[in-house]
Chain A
Amino acid sequence: MGYVVKLEVYQGPFDLLLDLIAKNEVDIWDIPIAVITEQYLEYLYSLQEKDLAIAGEFLVMASTLIRLKSRLLLPQQPAQGEEEQEEEDPRRELVEQLLRYKFFKETAQFLEECYRAASRYYTKGQSLEVYNLKPIYARPVGDLTLDDLREVYGHLRAEQEKEAPVHEIFSRMPIQERIALVRLRLVGTPRLSFRALLKDCTPSEIVGTFLAILELVRLGEIRVVQSGLFGEISIQSYLWEVEVNS
């Protein structure tokens, strides 16, 4: 087991920065980056003098501060071509992170007070291992509302009513048959659009064709290319390429 040595108890670079901001009594929305960076680095040097390893996170923040400082020193480039837009304060992102951290740091202090108060109450001291460890996490569906769920359920029901049970797909539309069909369509054609292949198909035929395409990709007979997000998917035959090239 290693030793954990803490000098001034800073939980991390955010903690150190908040402390420096408080000590300098400056507005968090208008941090004098040059001054704070200097003091921040001084702290790191003081650690170094004591031969203590500096956690990587502190170094990352040091480089962030130096970058901010140099950005603030550089003359602002005039916006080119585009309309006059509000110049984003380069410190903004850091300030938001600091405020977010500050809230949780304060909440942690609140919890510590709660703990001190709660630890003055004694129970009769039975086995505490039986204690309930079940989560009190109460948002299993994230930010979905009841209406969202109802809508999704409605769509599912509607689709279910349209479509026959899944297991019938295989009996009515064997994959082998679909594979043969896709192969046939690809004869003498460099490429085929996925949409064209599915034209006038029933839902179960679509599923069968889709599985057939996956199988053909696996067998190395075709490759599937999509031009972009939601773009047309084209199916290209390797066999055809071989024929043309030879």
Chain B
Amino acid sequence: MTLAEARVIIEGLIFAAEKPLSAKEIGEIMELDPSTVDALVEEIRKKHADGALTIRLVAGGYQMVTKPELAPWIEQLGRPVVHAPLSTAATETLAIIAYEQPITRAEIEQIRGVRSDSALSNLLERGLICEVGRKEGPGRPILYGVTEKFLEHFGLAGLDELPLKSIGQ
């Protein structure tokens, strides 16, 4: 296959996939090196420069999306909001889990200084966090971690896009 053909196939795969598709997954399908996939995606993105669509890197994968400047028009289609905004309590709880995972409810509540059970159940229901195990110790409390959907919700490519945690600020 030529590079031009590879570009078209990659574009088709990213369009048709139901979730962000990583360079590795694309590479496995097409028997290409992930770094080659990355380079080709960059070319596709350039080709889209004056179109409506672009490819964004989110949750470790590529996803085809409309450009942000179209948002005011698309909003008028009245499509239901895919990801409704979170409450401040839920966002705070999520921030703590993203950094401190795996973490128990009691540990989260100690950091926030308030009960966080409703924030936690909200996040679980939305699939932004999940149970990742149980902590050894009395009562074996549930440990929580963030999911890939968390990254997608906030448009993050990976956890390393979060601000650096400085010590003793």
A residues contacting B by CB (< 8 A) are 9, 11-15, 55, 57, 61, 97, 99-108, 110-112, 114-115, 117-128, 130-137, 139
Of A97, A111, A126, which contacts B154 at CB under 8 A? A111
In the complex, are the beta carbons of A104 and B99 less than 8 A apart? Answer: yes
State whether the Cβ of B78 lies closer than 8 Å to any Cβ in chain A.
no
State whether the Cβ of B85 lies closer than 8 Å to any Cβ in chain A.
yes
Chain B residues positioned under 8 Å from A15 (CB to CB):
113
In the complex, are the beta carbons of A133 and B147 less than 8 A apart? Answer: yes
State whether the Cβ of B47 lies closer than 8 Å to any Cβ in chain A.
no
In the complex, are the beta carbons of B59 and A100 less than 8 A apart? Answer: no
**Contacts A11-B88, A12-B113 supplied; 10 other A-B pairs, CB < 8 Å:** A9-B88, A101-B111, A101-B113, A118-B152, A118-B153, A119-B81, A123-B82, A131-B152, A134-B147, A136-B59
In the complex, are the beta carbons of A108 and B147 less than 8 A apart? Answer: no
State whether the Cβ of B130 lies closer than 8 Å to any Cβ in chain A.
yes
Q: Which residue of B lies closest to A130 (CB)?
A: B18
Interface size on B, residues (CB 8 A): 61
Chain A residues positioned under 8 Å from B82 (CB to CB):
123, 125, 128
Q: Which residue of A lies closest to B92 (CB)?
A: A108
A107–B161 Cα distance when bound, in Å, is 11
B residues 66-119 touching A (CB-CB < 8 Å): 66-68, 70-71, 74, 79, 81-83, 85-86, 88-89, 91-92, 94-96, 98-99, 101-102, 111-115
